[in-house]
Amino acid sequence: MGHDKLRKFAENEHFSCLLQPSAEEVLADGYFHLRDHEVKGRWNGMMFHGDPDAPLVLELGCGKGEYTIALAGKEPGANFIGVDIKGARLWKGAKYATEHALPNVAFLRTRIEFITAYFAPGEVSEIWLTFSDPQMRRENARLSSPLFLERYRKFLRKGGIVHLKTDSRFLHEYTKAVCAANGLEVLACTEDLYGGDADVPPITREVQTFYESMFLEQGYKINYLSFRIDREGDFVSPAEFDADYWRSVEGPRLLFGHDSAETRRQKLHAAKAVSEEGE
């Protein structure tokens, strides 16, 4: 482990806005019986010290926290929590929030699979999924899959909103299909957030993530979808979603001048197909 990463981990221990629970404690009763953390149901009292009834908004997979911080700046009447497992990434957001004494920003270092151990029924008003890994090969790992929606429903208040912002048409279309299969109310939907006149909340355009800016510079469109998950019964997977088709049309992505992992897979698949045709 690099010296700089160790330094960041050490600093993380002193940021009051960053909660780093022990995974061993959460898993003490097993993966399917997560042990509740003491902050569950008490976020506005333990981590924020303003309005005890202020809305609580989560960004899941927040990375370095720049989107969480920007949202908090736009909506000072709500409290924002960025969630990620990477401590070295969270360090940047936590350090900024600490140095600027941001009153409505906090971070939680945990796996998103454990999220129900930290939030009580009705405690959260909104969830943001910003540029999540589309997980093209593993449905249950997608943050908008039925498995994750079941988790969110346990703490999202009635009428609460899930926002999906992504460069991945695959993930966008998959999530639309999940909404259709489960009869979920779609509030806004566009395949080109910055083109046309889609009726979306202004904040979706006013705040951009680092990766969002990168993909916009490459000429890729940004997709946006917001929906409610109020429903009875289990969530189901969409039978009508053509995963192979949407994988095939997913555009290539460059991260820091290099192919993304999915782009590399696409190129290998295409090369294999050409080779087999030539045989």
Active site residues: 133
Give dist(CA 157, CA 18) in Å, integer.
Answer: 24
Give dist(CA 265, CA 271) in Å, integer.
Answer: 10
**What H or E segment, with its residue span, contains residue 253?**
none
Give dist(CA 49, CA 136) in Å, integer.
Answer: 41
Handedness of CA 110, 125, 104, 166 (dihedral sign): positive
Dihedral angle of Cα 156, 160, 166, 172, to the nearest 10 degrees: 100
The separation between the first and the last C-alpha atoms of the chain, rounded to the nearest angstrom, is 46
